[in-house]
C-alpha cells in the first residue's frame, strides 16, 4: 500500500516541515506487525517527491485478525489494498500534517495551496472509475487511473479490478490528506473497527471545509458511517446521540438478545461461547444466574489474552462467574465440550467457507449435541439499507444468507439431527428487509 505526493514550484520544500519529517532520513516504524516507511525520493528547492509506504505482515493479520478486524480468526485477503487500516497508519505517521500543527514558524503554510500530484493505491473498489471521479473531481482534482500490466486474459476495466488512483490539483497538504483519510474507506467499503458515534467527530474534524458542500455528501456519510442508526446521529442533539447509540449499537443488541434467550432456558448449567473473541459476550454470560460453567472458545491467542484481562476485571464483582478460556476450533472435537447445555455462535459462521458449514453443523448437533444452540448471522437482505448493494458487510465474510436461505438451511440441519428450530431478528425491523441480524434457536428433541 502506498501514497506518493509530488509537488513542483516555489516553496514546495516547506512540505517537509508540514509533514514533520527530515528529508535526509527514512522514517521507519512497525505498527501491529506492519512495516511503515516514509522517505523522500527527491528533495529540492522546487521539486519534492515523498512516498508513504506500508508493507503488511500477512502472517500477523492471519494470526491476529480478530484484534485487527474485530472478527474471529480467519485469514483476510484484503491486506494489500488501501483501506481504513492504511488510513490508521497514515494518521499515526502523519498526524502533524493531518491536524495542521507544525512548528509555529511554519504554521502560516498550513493553509497554503501547492500544485500536488498524488498517487495512492492499490484501490480494490467495487466502485467504477466514474463513481470514484465523482468523489474527487468536485474537490478540484484531475483524476486518472493506472491499471497493472498483465499477460493474463483479463478485462481490466471491470469495477473490481485493482488500480492506482492519481490526483492532481492546487490544494493544501492538510486538505489532501484529510480528504484521502475520509474517502479511502468509502471507496473500499470497509472499516476494520466498529463504527460508532465517535466516527461522527472524526468526519466533522477531517471533513471540515469540504464535506458539507460536496455533491456526494449523503453517499459519503452513509458509506463512512455504514449503519443507518449512526448516520442518523448527525441530525440529533449531542445528548440524544450518546443515548441512542448506546441503545442501538448492533453488537450490544445481539448480546442482549442472546443473554435474554439463555436466561429463559430451563437448562443452562454449562454454556459454550464458540468464537468468543475478546470475551464481551462471555463476560455478560458470567452474570447470568443459573450458569455454573462457561467455556469461552477462541482460536486467537491475542484475543484470549484480551478476554482474560476482561474476566479478571469483572471478577472484582463477587457475583461474576469467570469463564474458562480455551483454545479451540469448530473443526476438531474437544471432549470437554460434549453434552453442554448451550452452544452459542454469535456472528461466526459467515467467516467460514460456505461449503464447510454442513460439516460444522454435524460436529455441533451430532457430536456435541447440546440441548440448545444459538446461531446469529447477518441478514443479507438488510444490506440494501446500508447501501451495500451486492457487497458483503465485511470483506472477510465468505457468504451472507437471506432470511429464506438461513431458515431453509437451519430447518434442514435441525431435521437431520433431531432438533426443532425457531427464528427471530435482532435490530431495527424494516418492513421489507427485516432485521439486520437473524438468529436461529435449535432445541434438541426429547427421545421418547
Which pLDDT tens digit goes with each residue over 18-58? 988 898 988 887 766 677 888 899 999 899 999 987 876 55
Same domain, yes or no: 33 and 182: yes
Please tell me the distance from the alpha carbon of residue 269 to that of residue 258, in angstroms, as a whole number. 15
Please return the burial class of 58, using the count of CB atoms within 10 Å of its CB with bins 0-12, 13-18 and 19+. Answer: middle
Is the pLDDT reported for residue 300 higher than 90? no
Task: Residue 261: count other Cβ atoms within 10 Å of its Cβ.
Answer: 18
Please return the burial class of 177, using the count of CB atoms within 10 Å of its CB with bins 0-12, 13-18 and 19+. Answer: buried
Is the pLDDT reported for residue 219 higher than 60? yes
The pLDDT, as a whole number, for residue 62 is: 47
Same domain, yes or no: 140 and 262: no
Position 171 in a domain: yes
- As a whole number, mean pLDDT of residues 124-135 equals 85
Strand partners, 171: 114
Position 8 in a domain: yes
Same domain, yes or no: 167 and 296: no
Position 202 in a domain: no
Q: What is the CATH number of the domain that holds 406?
A: 3.40.50.150
Task: Residue 113: count other Cβ atoms within 10 Å of its Cβ.
Answer: 13
The pLDDT, as a whole number, for residue 149 is: 62
Quote the cell numbers at residue 350: 459467515
Task: Report residue 447's pLDDT band, with 50, 70 and 90 as the boundaries.
Answer: low
pLDDT tens digit sequence for 375-391: 999 999 998 887 766 66
Position 298 in a domain: yes
Work out how many domains the chain is built from and give that number: 2
The pLDDT, as a whole number, for residue 414 is: 97
The pLDDT, as a whole number, for residue 263 is: 95
The pLDDT, as a whole number, for residue 138 is: 92
3-state secondary structure 303-368: HHHHHHHHHHHHCCCCCCCCCEEECCCCCCCCHHHCCCCEEEEECCHHHCCHHHHHHHHHHHHHHH
**Residue 122 phi, psi dihedral angles, 5° rounding:** -70, 140
Is the pLDDT reported for residue 108 higher than 60? yes
Same domain, yes or no: 6 and 153: yes
Position 363 in a domain: yes
What's the domain range around 351?
A: 249-444
Same domain, yes or no: 259 and 384: yes
pLDDT tens digit sequence for 418-442: 999 999 999 888 899 999 999 999 9
The pLDDT, as a whole number, for residue 158 is: 43
Of 193, 223, 240, the last residue of a domain is 193
Quote the cell numbers at residue 207: 471533513
List of long-range contacts for 153-157, beta carbons under 8 Å, 24+ apart: none
Same domain, yes or no: 404 and 281: yes
The pLDDT, as a whole number, for residue 368 is: 95
Position 214 in a domain: no
Residue pair 435/428 in contact (Cβ under 8 Å)? The answer is: yes
Please tell me the distance from the alpha carbon of residue 90 to that of residue 134, in angstroms, as a whole number. 24
Same domain, yes or no: 264 and 188: no
Position 242 in a domain: no
With 0.75 as the threshold, say if the pTM is over it.
no
Provide the pairing of β-strand 2-8 with 114-123: antiparallel
Task: Residue 360: count other Cβ atoms within 10 Å of its Cβ.
Answer: 18
Same domain, yes or no: 188 and 254: no
Position 304 in a domain: yes
Amino acid at each position: 500500500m502506498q501514497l506518493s505526493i509530488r509537488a513542483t514550484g516555489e516553496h514546495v520544500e516547506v512540505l517537509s516541515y508540514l509533514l514533520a519529517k527530515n528529508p535526509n532520513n527514512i522514517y521507519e516504524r512497525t505498527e501491529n506487525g506492519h512495516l511503515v516507511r516514509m522517505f523522500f525520493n527527491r528533495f529540492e528547492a522546487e521539486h519534492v517527491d515523498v512516498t508513504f509506504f506500508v508493507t503488511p505482515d500477512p502472517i500477523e493479520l492471519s494470526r491476529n485478525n480478530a484484534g485487527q478486524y474485530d472478527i474471529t480468526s480467519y485469514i483476510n485477503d484484503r491486506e494489500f489494498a488501501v483501506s481504513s487500516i492504511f488510513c490508521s497508519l497514515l494518521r499515526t505517521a502523519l498526524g502533524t500534517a493531518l491536524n495542521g500543527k507544525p512548528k509555529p514558524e511554519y504554521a502560516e503554510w498550513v493553509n497554503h495551496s501547492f500544485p500536488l500530484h498524488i498517487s495512492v493505491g492499490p484501490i480494490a473498489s467495487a466502485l467504477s472509475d466514474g463513481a470514484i471521479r465523482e468523489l474527487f473531481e468536485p474537490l478540484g482534482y484531475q483524476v486518472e487511473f493506472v491499471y497493472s500490466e498483465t499477460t493474463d486474459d483479463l478485462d481490466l476495466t471491470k469495477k473490481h479490478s485493482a488500480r492506482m488512483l492519481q490526483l492532481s490539483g492546487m490544494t493544501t497538504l492538510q486538505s489532501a490528506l484529510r480528504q484521502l483519510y475520509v474517502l479511502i474507506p468509502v471507496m473500499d467499503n470497509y472499516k476494520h473497527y466498529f463504527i460508532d458515534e465517535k466516527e461522527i467527530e472524526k468526519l466533522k474534524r477531517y471533513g471540515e471545509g469540504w464535506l458539507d458542500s460536496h455533491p456526494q455528501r449523503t453517499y459519503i456519510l452513509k458509506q463512512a458511517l455504514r449503519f443507518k442508526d449512526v448516520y442518523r446521529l448527525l441530525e440529533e442533539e449531542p445528548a440524544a446521540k450518546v443515548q441512542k447509540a448506546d441503545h442501538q449499537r448492533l453488537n450490544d443488541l445481539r448480546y442482549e438478545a442472546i443473554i435474554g434467550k439463555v436466561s429463559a432456558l430451563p437448562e443452562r448449567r454449562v454454556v459454550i461461547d464458540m468464537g468468543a473473541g475478546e470475551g464481551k459476550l462471555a463476560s455478560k454470560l458470567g452474570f447470568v444466574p443459573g450458569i455454573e460453567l462457561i467455556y469461552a472458545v477462541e482460536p486467537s491467542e491475542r484475543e484470549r489474552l484480551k478476554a482474560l484481562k476482561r474476566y479478571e476485571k469483572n471478577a472484582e464483582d463477587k457475583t461474576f462467574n469467570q469463564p474458562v478460556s480455551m483454545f479451540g476450533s469448530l473443526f476438531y472435537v474437544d471432549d470437554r465440550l460434549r453434552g453442554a447445555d448451550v452452544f452459542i455462535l454469535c456472528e461466526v459462521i459467515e467467516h467460514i467457507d460456505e461449503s464447510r458449514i454442513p460439516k460444522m453443523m454435524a460436529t455441533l448437533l451430532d457430536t456435541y449435541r447440546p440441548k440448545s444452540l444459538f446461531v446469529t448471522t447477518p441478514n443479507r437482505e438488510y444490506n440494501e439499507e446500508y447501501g451495500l448493494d451486492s457487497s458483503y458487510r465485511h470483506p472477510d465474510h465468505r457468504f451472507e444468507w437471506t432470511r429464506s436461505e438461513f431458515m431453509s438451511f437451519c430447518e434442514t440441519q435441525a431435521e437431520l439431527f433431531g432438533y426443532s428450530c425457531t427464528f427471530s431478528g435482532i435490530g431495527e425491523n424494516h418492513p421489507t428487509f427485516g432485521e439486520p441480524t437473524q438468529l436461529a434457536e435449535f432445541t434438541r428433541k426429547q427421545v421418547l
